[in-house]
Structure 1
Amino acid sequence: MNSLAIGIAVTLCAVITLIWRHHHSSQKHGVTLIVKPFDDGIDEHSVNIKVPTVLSVVLFTTTLLIYVQLGHFNGWNKGVVDTNIDYLITAEINRNAKKVNEQPNNEIALLNLAQSYVDGGLYSESVQTFDTLLKLTGDDANIIGMKANAMYYRDNREMSLDIDLVIARALALDEYEPQSRLLLATHAYLSGEFEKAIEQWQKLLESKQPNVNRAAINNAILRAEQKIANRSVAASE
């Protein structure tokens, strides 16, 4: 049992215990929870005991429904890459997975599930979901680019031949596919290949892609150029 479930169970038990202690204390001191006279023959004690019983049942049921709606944590607490997934991300994964189970050919649902896997650090599951999605959509440059990114982080930021082939496939469909270009730029920058990173970013600036953050790319280019300048100064000393 995971820590989230234990915490909920302990808190729930504590609250229910307080409700019953308050009830017994009230009975002990002669305080009734219902002051209306009972002229219809109903036993007052039986009515009074129903109050904490109903409160306990309502509290337990409400807590259980909220927990089920948000998603249980344990099923996703075994991720290889990220074993401490935020419970809100877990809930999002569960909701998207449920949607895909109900509508396995829903492309939007599959895309949302793949993205939520990425958010949760479950990159292998994300790659598998992108593969399923591509079987429905056929060759789609954007989806292939997103798959390449998931593969890259799944492999601990190693640029393998398989990833190179996936990127080449995306760029063959769309020369300016942003996910692939950004991945190439990021990997080059992290590898100290600042010239290659700038080349990829400039390709994106040349494109007509509306979802490209040009201000951020320009800042990245400036940082890379500064790195090149600093390296040149260090080499000349």
Structure 2
Amino acid sequence: MITLLILIITFLLLILAIIWGHFLRSNNKSQSEDPQLRDQTNIQLYQEHKSEIEKDFQQGAIDEESYQYLLTELDKSFLQDMTANEKETAKISAATQRKLSPLWPVFISLFVLIFSVALYQKQGSYLKLAQSPQQATTNNNKAVNEEQQALTQIKEIKQALKKTPDSSNLWYSLGQANINIGNFNGAVKAFDKVLQIEGNKPDIIGAKAQALYYANKQKINTEVQTLIDQALALDPLDPSTNVLLGMDSFINQHYQKAIRYWQKIVDSGREDVNAEALKGAIAEAQSRLTKVNSNDATDSPKLTLNVSLSEKLQQALAQGEDKIVFVYAIPADGRRMPLAAMKIKLSDLPITINLTDAQAMSPQFNLSSAKSVHIFAVASQQGRPGIKSGDYKAELKNIAVNTTTPLNLIINQLVP
């Protein structure tokens, strides 16, 4: 940035020297001065300045735009000099008695100044240069400072833990700090220390689940799900666990579920919850849900399903780990490729969902490609797609894809 500024100033002075030098020379030359000598002098100056400009361009000191501009101005100045000499040769007496008007170098100088300022504002980051040193440092080093602050915080916490190794607050702070810098394995170890000191507390279990969730690339695996189940068994309204579930739902575009998890925390009225932040997240999820519903309100098929579990199976399936429920539609003509599919949890039931072309497995095989479908909802014992022995299912046969009436899909059958 500073280098470019110096270059522009240097060449600006060069151009102004050429312009005003010619003007002063023209007015100070004697009447008897030989026009041919003046031509030779101008040619020599032109060649010297042009050589300097070409040398700077070849060395990378100036860019193509500046190079072309300087050559143009140099050519213009040279032509003006030669034209003036030709006129003087034709009218020697008039030329030797008349001084050049100062208007033309003034106008050219103004043009050069304006062009140079415009070029620097575009290429030279004038605003950054105009900032105070404190502002420039803040803007340029903000990201670096944040990371350094986090690392410094971790270092300070570890120093404090050497004095008080049984401080659960310090271990918890260390876990959160490690999450902030992406060291999720370090966060898990820190939360394990808190659990060793304080025992199984839902908020700590939920925090550990969050760390493992991030370490698993924002996917809920068996280990994460086990921690979620443990935390909710101790406290169904645990903020950290419900935040995690809402976040996972949001990432997977299940905005209604995300709203439900987050609203549950807000409604609990707990003082240790950032209600304003959650309300902002809820508003964003509602905005996206409205957009999705608006996009679905087209001529393409949309099957609205009320998925639920029969009363008889509610108590039986409520025991043990949460199960995955696969909801999908296949063509009624015998093809097995699902035309639309969604994955939800058994604990989410009852729930209303929409099957549209957006849930297609491929663009060529979607609801719009069929006239009627068979619809299934399968509570899987193994957590895998398909209908297997021991699973529970619901099914609707030969449903027209242009059906607009909500359909009730009640899981009540045991697969033999």
The TM-score with structure 2 as length reference comes to 0.35
| CA distance in structure 2 between the aligned counterparts of 1:208 and 1:118, rounded to whole angstroms | 26
The residue type paired with residue 107 of structure 1 is: S
1:121 is aligned to 182
Sort the Cα spacing of 1:97 and 1:221 in 2 relative to 1 into closer, same or farther, 3 A.
same
SS at match of 2:195: helix
| Larger mean Cα displacement after TM superposition, 182-191 or 93-102 | 93-102
Sort the Cα spacing of 1:218 and 1:92 in 2 relative to 1 into closer, same or farther, 3 A.
closer
How far apart are residue 223 of structure 1 and its match?
A: 2.6
Equivalent residue in structure 2 for 1:231, among 280, 284, 292? 292
Equivalent residues in 2 for 1:96-175 (5 A)?
A: 96-175=157-236
1:7 is aligned to none
Higher strand share: 2
Matched, 1:190 2:190: no
The TM-score with structure 1 as length reference comes to 0.60
Q: Which runs of 4+ in 1 moved over 3 A?
A: none
User: After superposition, what is the alpha-carbon deviation per residue over 1:192-223, rounded to whole angstroms, capped at 9, x for unaligned?
Assistant: 01111111012112213112233333333233
Sort the Cα spacing of 1:119 and 1:226 in 2 relative to 1 into closer, same or farther, 3 A.
closer
User: After superposition, what is the alpha-carbon deviation per residue over 1:84-107, rounded to whole angstroms, capped at 9, x for unaligned?
Assistant: 982222121112112223322122
Structure 2 gap segments, 5+ residues each: 1-144, 299-416
| Larger mean Cα displacement after TM superposition, 124-133 or 226-235 | 226-235
SS at match of 2:182: coil
1:222 is aligned to 283
1:10 is aligned to none
How far apart are residue 182 of structure 1 and its match?
A: 0.8
Q: Is contact 1:152–1:159 with CA below 8 Å preserved after alignment?
A: yes
The residue type paired with residue 200 of structure 1 is: Y
SS at match of 2:232: helix
SS at match of 2:220: coil
Higher helix share: 1
Sort the Cα spacing of 1:127 and 1:227 in 2 relative to 1 into closer, same or farther, 3 A.
same
Sort the Cα spacing of 1:107 and 1:213 in 2 relative to 1 into closer, same or farther, 3 A.
closer
- Across the aligned residues of Structure 1 and Structure 2, the Cα RMSD in angstroms comes to 1.9
Q: Is contact 1:145–1:179 with CA below 8 Å preserved after alignment?
A: yes
The residue type paired with residue 153 of structure 1 is: Y
| Larger mean Cα displacement after TM superposition, 125-134 or 85-94 | 85-94
Sort the Cα spacing of 1:196 and 1:89 in 2 relative to 1 into closer, same or farther, 3 A.
same
The residue type paired with residue 221 of structure 2 is: S
| CA distance in structure 1 between the aligned counterparts of 2:267 and 2:297, rounded to whole angstroms | 34
| Larger mean Cα displacement after TM superposition, 179-188 or 103-112 | 103-112
The residue type paired with residue 109 of structure 1 is: L
| Larger mean Cα displacement after TM superposition, 205-214 or 194-203 | 205-214
| CA distance in structure 1 between the aligned counterparts of 2:175 and 2:265, rounded to whole angstroms | 24
Structure 1 gap segments, 5+ residues each: 1-83
SS at match of 1:86: helix
How far apart are residue 169 of structure 1 and its match?
A: 1.1
Q: Is contact 1:134–1:140 with CA below 8 Å preserved after alignment?
A: yes
2:269 is aligned to 208
Sort the Cα spacing of 1:128 and 1:233 in 2 relative to 1 into closer, same or farther, 3 A.
same
Q: Is contact 1:149–1:183 with CA below 8 Å preserved after alignment?
A: yes
The residue type paired with residue 240 of structure 2 is: Q
Q: Is contact 1:85–1:120 with CA below 8 Å preserved after alignment?
A: no
SS at match of 1:176: coil
